[in-house]
Amino acid sequence: MQSVELKPWREGFALPDRFNMVTLLLERHLSAGRGGHTAIYYGDARITYSELGDLTNRLGNVFLQLGVEPEQRVLLLLNDSPEFVGAFLAAMKIGAVPVPVHVLATPSDLVYFLNDCRARVAVSGDAFLPGLEAARQQAPFLRHVLVAGQTAGKNLSLAEAIKSSSPSLETFASHKDDVSYWLYTSGTTGLPRGVVHLQHDLVHSIETWGYHVARFTPDDITYCVPRLFFSYGLNNALYLPLYYGAGVVLSPHQQKPGLVLQNLSRYRPTLFFSVPTSYGQILREADEGKWEVDLGSVRHCISAGEALPAPVYERWLRRFGVEIIDGLGSTEAGWIYISNVPGQVKRGSSGRLLPGYRGKIVDENGTELPAGQVGELLICSDSVAAGYWNRHDQTKKIFMGAWMRTGDRFYQDEEGYLFYQGRDDDVLKVGGAWVLPLEVEQCLLEHEAVAECAVVGALDELGLCKPKAFVTLRQGFTAGAELGSALQRFVKERLAPYKYPRWIEFVDELPKTVTGKIQRYKLR
């Protein structure tokens, strides 16, 4: 393949037409003699770039042996691990398309993902195999399942397949506009949408953020609370560190505050990525004296996924003496496109548009608004996705020529700082993940006690958005704390845990229009 020479974004890019992102994430470090540098910190293991290259090549050959062809999708149902990184890179290296999905996906979710992306091969952790096996009965395109872990059953063992595979693999000569990877996101319709990113997309977003915000170097070590199957986690814990030849801390476990603080002390990362909810939880536990907090190695704390409340920022700065650098991005945009920068953080602001992005705030008619007025933000950049898979109408609605509708409402001050004012729709963002109120409402309505319900966003004691349910009861049921707890458990058992309503408020009736539509703004 043609070699890739990159200048920093501030001087402009020069990508050849034939370009595979793996050349920047892995191969250029190996050819530069940095193979011995640690790429991944995982438990007691230290995986070097050479070892990651070996894993990637062997997995790429496994995919080829299973008949995976260029542009075909490979579904990843894995915890954060070297296997996730290796499988992601391997699929891209052979010209295929990695499609990470949520590890808390239900069997019905997996049926949808498998049939929508038509993956021929899935790579799954053994803990998620029962759900995948249940889904497989209704997924005619799936041919093979590779299992990471001890229990492969009738499927292929990932470890055994890797052992018998060749460590040599040629990089597929992708075009810079070929599909690189997918991520699923949920929209107002409730159906997940496959966001299609091209090979060149992430070069633009990673380069500009890495230079202008973090000043990334190969000596950095990143640690990220959101997982790799989220856009935020994928960029922080795969694209960013590998792009700059740095290291990343990965953990297969749920990132609860105690574990996060232990890992901060154990691995001494220089860049810590999290979401406001997690920052708030760490503050609570630190204030209660449950854990020793050591941020001595961290030069930047970064927040995205949802707007960072000013009180959380101020409490964190007072408690630990380290700024939280807040920013805003999206799966469709590829990465953070609005950010504060170190030493120039404005309280309560998401920051300013980064170089390489153009933006405008418009009213409902598309007319650009002056500073101080609230409207929807539109952005333009080469990092923006090509569109949604098999969602032509939604693609036309969101991707309008060079511009992309973000669905986020902002106003801009005279200095160019942008202040988040919520979404244009009713979708909630909880702990960095989207929650569709309709999905929670439908779940609640399955309970025998619930007559009607409505779910809206409410702010907790830290100013973070969480779901709140207003419920009217069927005859014969009595409102109270016991029933409220039962309804919360009911939702937790059927949906991803972060979607359950944090509060249940029983009401005699829900406010409605004359046509019977619930007036959610009154509940808010």
Q: CB–CB of 305/338 below 8 Å?
A: no
403 and 497 share a domain? Answer: no
| CA atoms 284, 290, 292, 294: torsion sign | negative
The string over 432-443, giving b where at least 16 C-beta atoms fall within 10 Å of a residue's C-beta and e elsewhere, is bbbbbbebbbeb
Structure tokens at 286: 């630190």
416 and 458 share a domain? Answer: no
Q: Which residue has the tokens 């293991």?
A: 45
What residues form DSSP beta bridges with 409?
Answer: 376
Residue ranges in the chain modelled with pLDDT below 50: 1-8, 187-189, 514-516
Q: CB–CB of 53/64 below 8 Å?
A: no
Nearest of 220, 245, 248 to residue 236 by alpha carbon? 248
396 and 266 share a domain? Answer: yes
Q: What is the pLDDT of residues 480-494, one digit of tens each?
A: 999 999 999 999 999
| pLDDT for position 250 | 98
Domain span including residue 159: 16-176
125 and 167 share a domain? Answer: yes
| pLDDT for position 190 | 55
**Is 7 contained in some domain?**
no
Q: Which residue has the tokens 């290296």?
A: 93
Question: How many distinct structural domains can be found in the chain?
Answer: 3
| pLDDT for position 186 | 62
Q: CB–CB of 306/435 below 8 Å?
A: no
Question: What global pTM score does this model have?
Answer: 0.83
| pLDDT for position 288 | 76
Structure tokens at 67: 């008949």
Q: What is the pLDDT of residues 453-462, one digit of tens each?
A: 889 999 988 8
Q: What DSSP string runs through 138-199?
A: T-TT--EEEEESS--TTSEEHHHHHHTS-S--PPP--BTTSEEEEEEEE-TTSSEEEEEEET
Strand 352-353 and strand 336-339: the pairing is antiparallel
217 and 312 share a domain? Answer: yes
d(CA 203, CA 201): 6
For 36, other C-beta atoms within 10 Å of its C-beta total 9
**Is 9 contained in some domain?**
no
| pLDDT for position 131 | 95
263 and 359 share a domain? Answer: yes
- The end-to-end CA distance of the chain, in Å, is 56
35 and 168 share a domain? Answer: yes
454 and 411 share a domain? Answer: no
| pLDDT for position 4 | 43
**Is 315 contained in some domain?**
yes
Q: Which residues contact 30 (CB under 8 A, 6 or more apart)?
A: 49, 50, 53
d(CA 388, CA 380): 17
| pLDDT for position 435 | 81
| pLDDT for position 6 | 42
Q: What DSSP string runs through 130-143?
A: HHHHHHHTT-TT--
| pLDDT for position 10 | 52
Q: What is the 3-state secondary structure (H, E, C) of 214-237?
A: HCCCCCCEEEECCCCCCHHHHHHH
CB-neighbour burial class of residue 287 (10 A; exposed 0-12, middle 13-18, buried 19+): exposed
Q: At what angle do helices 437-445 and 481-494 cross, to 10 degrees?
A: 110
**Is 270 contained in some domain?**
yes
Nearest of 110, 77, 70 to residue 91 by alpha carbon? 70
Which of 381, 400, 423 is where one domain is finished? 423
| pLDDT for position 471 | 95
Structure tokens at 367: 């007319």
Structure tokens at 241: 């560190």
Q: What DSSP string runs through 297-358?
A: T-SEEEE-SS---HHHHHHHHHHHS--EEEEEE-TTT-SEEEE--TT---TT--BEEPTT-E
**Is 191 contained in some domain?**
no
**Is 355 contained in some domain?**
yes
**Is 240 contained in some domain?**
yes
Helix boundaries (H) for 359-408? 392-398
For 491, other C-beta atoms within 10 Å of its C-beta total 23
Three-state secondary-structure class, residue 261: helix
**Is 278 contained in some domain?**
yes
User: What CATH number did the domain enclosing 442 receive?
Assistant: 3.30.300.30
328 and 461 share a domain? Answer: no
Which of 381, 397, 423 is where one domain is finished? 423
How many angstroms separate the most distant Cα atoms in the chain?
73
Q: What are the backbone angles phi and psi of residue 382, rounded to the nearest 5°?
A: -75, -5
| pLDDT for position 158 | 97
Strands of 51-96 (E only): list them: 73-77
